[in-house]
């Protein structure tokens, strides 16, 4: 069973004044959540990435999302203390509606990975809260710099990172994706923030 530290809660109001997603909780995981729950949110994330890569013209194996999920489970401890962190956003019903991970790339640098918010929680500030939670944890871990990459069609993240103080870099940095997926290098945008 996973143990969570509740980081903070959001009460989100839609434009018509009604509660949109009530009390979304951002939780820092000391242990992995229930595997089925984490698989569900990660599967949604990988499906979106594959969809966007296909729209870019890449031919993607239909098994790619399951393969990516299996790859995550080979090294999940990279995203738990003391090597990194995993944060999830939960609805008031307890459903995971967002996630984000960070892993240490060295004694001073953390890499943000797998920021994802479900469609029903988009536009609520949940993505911002997931990034801010990981930034706070990175500071507590003594890290001095956060880096991230994202694909060209991921306009949500390309828009959000600068709003949170990240600078888009003109030259590539050796992120995990840069190293593991060289065919994506021309389509990656790189961000960094001194913390």
- Predicted confidence pLDDT, tens digits, the chain (195 residues): 344 444 445 544 455 443 455 589 999 999 999 999 999 999 999 999 999 999 999 998 888 888 889 989 999 999 999 999 999 999 999 999 999 999 999 999 999 999 999 999 999 999 999 999 999 999 999 999 999 999 999 999 999 999 999 999 999 999 999 999 899 999 999 999 999
> Is the domain covering 4-194 a CATH 3.40.630.30 domain?
yes
Q: Where are the domains of the chain?
A: 4-194
SS3 for the chain is CCCEEEEEEECCECCCCCECCCCEEEEEECCCCCHHHHHHHHHHHHHHHHHHHHHCCCCCCCCHHHHHHHHHHHCHHHHCCCCEEEEEEECCCCCEEEEEEEEECCCCEEEEEEEEECHHHCCCCHHHHHHHHHHHHHHHCCCCEEEEEEECCCHHHHHHHHHCCCEECCCCCCCHHHHHCHHHHHHEEEEEEEC
Look up the pTM and report it: 0.86
């Amino acid at each position: 069973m996973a143990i969570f530290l509740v980081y903070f809660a959001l009460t989100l109001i839609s434009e018509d004044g009604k509660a949109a997603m009530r009390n979304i909780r951002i939780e820092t995981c000391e242990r992995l959540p229930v595997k089925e729950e984490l698989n569900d949110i990660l599967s949604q994330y990988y499906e979106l990435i594959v969809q966007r890569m296909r729209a870019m013209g890449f031919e993607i194996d239909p098994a790619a999302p399951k393969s990516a999920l299996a790859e995550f489970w080979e090294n999940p401890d990279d995203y738990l203390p003391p090597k990194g962190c995993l944060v999830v956003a939960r609805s008031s019903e307890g459903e995971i509606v967002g996630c984000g991970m960070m892993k240490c790339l060295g004694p001073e640098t953390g890499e943000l990975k797998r920021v994802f918010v479900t469609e029903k929680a988009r536009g609520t500030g949940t993505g911002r809260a997931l990034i801010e939670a990981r930034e706070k944890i990175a500071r507590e871990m003594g890290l001095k710099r956060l880096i991230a990459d994202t694909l060209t069609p991921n306009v949500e993240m390309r828009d959000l990172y600068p709003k949170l103080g990240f600078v888009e870099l003109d030259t590539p940095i050796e992120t995990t994706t840069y190293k593991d997926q060289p065919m994506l290098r021309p389509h990656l945008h790189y961000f960094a923030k001194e913390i």
